[in-house]
Amino acid sequence: MNDTTQITERQANEVTRKKEDTVRRTTVTPAVDIVEDSQGITLWADLPGVPREKLDVKVHDSRLTIEAEAIVPVTASLRVHHAELRVPRFARAFTISDDFDTAKIDANLQNGVLKLTIPRREEARPRRVEVRAS
Q: Where are the domains of the chain?
A: 6-124
* 0.85 surpassed by pTM: no
Q: What is the CATH number of domain 6-124?
A: 2.60.40.790
Name the residue among 85, 51, 44, 80 with its Cα closest to residue 68.
51
Per-residue pLDDT of the chain (134 residues; tens, 9 = 90+): 333 333 333 333 333 334 334 445 678 899 999 999 989 999 999 999 999 999 999 999 889 999 999 987 777 888 877 777 667 899 999 999 999 999 999 999 999 999 999 999 888 777 788 899 98
